[in-house]
Structure 1
Amino acid sequence: MSATRIHINPNILIWAIERVGKTVDEYIEENPKFQYWLDGSKLPTFKNVEQFAHKFYVPLGYMFLDNPPEETCPIPFFRSIDDKAHNINVYDTIKEMQERQEWLSDYLKKSGFDKVGYVGTFTPHDKIQSVCDRIREILNLPYNWAFGYNQIDSALKHITGRIEDCGTIVSFNSVVGFNNTRPLPVKDCRGFALIDDYAPFIFVNSKDAKVAQMFTLIHEFAHVLTGYSAGVGEAETESLSETERFCDKVAANFLVPDLLLKEEWDSGLGENYEVLSKKFKVSRFVIARRAMELGFISNARYFYCIKKWKNEALQDVAKSASGGNFYLSAIKKSSRTFLAHVNNALNRDMLLHMDAYRLTGLKGDTFHKILNSSSFV
């Protein structure tokens, strides 16, 4: 018996292809028989439709709609590329983080947790220094905390732990979930923040340079303090919103405090940007910007340095996680704190195992091995 053929609205097929950044012509060149689906000369089977939906990350039910659904980014996203170039991988990552946040927020409320007290306590009209002082107070960090670490990895791990200890979930990843075929380009997404009174979330692109990850982490934490969900990719300053520019200034001032930079500058380091970058755990660009703001160098000197460095090969790009410790990588992707809450909910019979696996993106055996590993403890 021949398989039943199904008519799918051609507009749905075209939408599914274009939403991942491909063109219909490109897809037909790779799959000539697709033209038959479009013109109706030979319709797909249900199995064909199922495989097509899976290939293009489309919920199966969408394939049977009369018209394509309207998909808009759930949060403001700032990047230099055309916003119409919808990156489905970034979109799906935000939706995945939102699902985790919704569950965790509900779980924490039911469990009697208090709201995270610092969420939304500042506005972009407040003084930058006041926000920086509050961040140091929340995280219990001195001005020169970064000087205690020789390596950026150690500093990043330390401050991430402090942020998570005070109630904000931090996830580092460079792909959708654990799918290495779905990368998140840095140009499209450096990071984002999702605001919630009980479970604020920060996402940082782990493919970015480590010093850039540090800056993004504090930038997004500033978002949490302003109570404003948003994301950013590679973007020019003039294209950013008032809040984005404010969070940039907070991150720069927190990581490179005025007095501390002056002390180091006057101690003889001056324009030794490489040494200053390693001490403060930020890029040369941030050091130069702060030096210009404090009057240590002229505007002309600053722009000369920026132009010179931009023409150099990109350095300090984060290496792929492949080949490393899978357990550690999985914990960073999911967040150690989030995994702990999921595990606690399981132990209290407030979450089904199948829902735990779905929320974390981990299969049953892997999920339990991670929780029982020395890396998690």
Structure 2
Amino acid sequence: MVEKAFITSEILKWARESAKITVEDAAKKVSVSPERYLTWEEGKDFPTIRQAKVLAKSFRRAFSLFFLPEVPKDFQPLQDYRRDDAKELDTASLFIIRDIQEKQGWISELFEETGETELPFVGKFTMNDNPEDVAKDILKTLNINPSNYQKKPIYEWIEKTEKAGIFISRTSNIHSRLTLDKDLIKGFAIADKFAPFIFVNSKDWDAPQLFTLVHELAHIWIAKSGISNEIDIDFTDKPKSKFHPVELFCNQVAANALMPREIIAHLGAETLESHTRIFKQAKELGISSFALLVRALNLELLTTSKYRELKEHAQQEFEKFLEKERIKNEKQKERKSGPDTFLLRLNKNSRLFTRIVMDSFNNGSLPPSIASNLLNTQINKFSKFEKLLA
């Protein structure tokens, strides 16, 4: 006789609904009819232990949670700074937010218990301050000089941001069949005094990822935790009124940090007259040609007509770039090659977070089951992380 799991029906329903999964899709995961599945949520019947475990994994909830007498308090939802007309967050978005909140909550509690010092830059400024001043403080705190990067800009920003105690998670999917939509969520920030966390959707190419990262740093500096998706400084064709004031402010901070006034002002007329030189300069700064053109326009270094002309050239070059990327990705799929699985997982967990969890596990202060759950990796595979971190 198959053993049944005497779960709490209300919790099963809550777990499914909070994952934005339909009754039909939930039923498919355990190969039963929707009608049969509903009998479990209505408390008229119970799934088998195997079926309940499959559902727990699908809803990304602990199996033991299903047996609680009542629905537990979930993580507080992050402030949604996206446009009012933005689409509702999907399952993948909710899963990555929950995953990061779990990691952030654990590390923040650990740091507070062990007497770690609060980070002075979290909430150091408000939206009443000048975005340029906030940008300068970010650069000073992280010891970053946009005119003299020592490595690829996005990697230098990530490395120095984590060195300052800010955790950075980057991924484009939950698993191979559940990917993140960059139009729904580009990034989010949790502005915690002990363990601030930033998430960046890596579905995009490096330049917009870097702009997202610095945009989210601005959220940390003004202590505004929340979700973003309209991260762009080009509002020439869009009414600013549609965007949240916090997003507009953080975009201004990011523009000032990645393209300081003094650097752009000294580019010279020759650079700003040539789309090829603009592309070269943008690449050195780790940004897009579009961002550089908008910044130059806002600083009144370009006329509107010249801006439109250069933007058209930039659009043509960008389309060529996208085509090259598409061909490269198709060739990778044909060869069935791609980035190392553990490197992707390391970036998703955050390198800094991974190191702290592994250190806690290695010194015996963290049980294997918790360490494995936090890094979503079996203990016997931790050596893969060690090699990558080294």
Match of 1:173 in 2: 171
Change (3 A) 1:51 1:226: same
Structure 1 residue 195, shift from structure 2 partner: 1.1
Structure 1 residue 291, shift from structure 2 partner: 1.5
1:376 paired to 2:389: yes
Identity percentage of aligned residues: 25
Match of 1:346 in 2: 361
**Which of 294, 319, 332 does residue 347 from structure 2 map onto?**
332
Structure 1 residue 284, shift from structure 2 partner: 2.0
Match of 1:240 in 2: 243
Distance in 1 separating the partners of 2:12 and 2:313: 47
Match of 1:75 in 2: 78
**Which of 335, 356, 360 does residue 375 from structure 2 map onto?**
360
**Which of 86, 91, 103 does residue 88 from structure 1 map onto?**
91
1:46 paired to 2:59: no
> SS of the counterpart of 2:257?
helix
Moved more, 83-92 or 251-260: 83-92
Distance in 2 separating the partners of 1:283 and 1:242: 23
Change (3 A) 1:253 1:327: same
Change (3 A) 1:5 1:166: closer
Residue by residue, what CA displacement relative to the aligned partner does 1:167-224 show, whole Å, maximum 9, x if unpaired? 1111111122xx2222111111111111111111111111111100110111111111
Match of 1:282 in 2: 287
Q: Tell me if the contact between 2:117 and 2:194 (Cα under 8 Å) persists in the aligned partners.
A: yes
> SS of the counterpart of 1:340?
helix
> SS of the counterpart of 2:267?
helix
Residue by residue, what CA displacement relative to the aligned partner does 1:86-133 show, whole Å, maximum 9, x if unpaired? 312211211211111122122223333211111100011101221121
Moved more, 298-307 or 272-281: 298-307
Q: Tell me if the contact between 1:173 and 1:333 (Cα under 8 Å) persists in the aligned partners.
A: yes
Q: Tell me if the contact between 1:73 and 1:91 (Cα under 8 Å) persists in the aligned partners.
A: no
Match of 2:113 in 1: 110
Q: Tell me if the contact between 1:17 and 1:23 (Cα under 8 Å) persists in the aligned partners.
A: yes
Residue by residue, what CA displacement relative to the aligned partner does 1:42-85 show, whole Å, maximum 9, x if unpaired? 96643545544544546667879999999897112344585563
Distance in 2 separating the partners of 1:91 and 1:238: 27
Change (3 A) 1:138 1:16: closer
Distance in 2 separating the partners of 1:86 and 1:53: 20
Distance in 1 separating the partners of 2:70 and 2:110: 36
Moved more, 162-171 or 46-55: 46-55
Number of equivalences? 367
1:138 paired to 2:141: yes
Change (3 A) 1:26 1:302: farther
Match of 1:195 in 2: 191
Residue by residue, what CA displacement relative to the aligned partner does 1:344-364 show, whole Å, maximum 9, x if unpaired? 322443211211111111111
**Which of 252, 256, 261 does residue 253 from structure 1 map onto?**
256
Residue by residue, what CA displacement relative to the aligned partner does 1:140-167 show, whole Å, maximum 9, x if unpaired? 1234134x55xxxx22111211111111
Match of 1:323 in 2: 338
Distance in 2 separating the partners of 1:115 and 1:131: 19
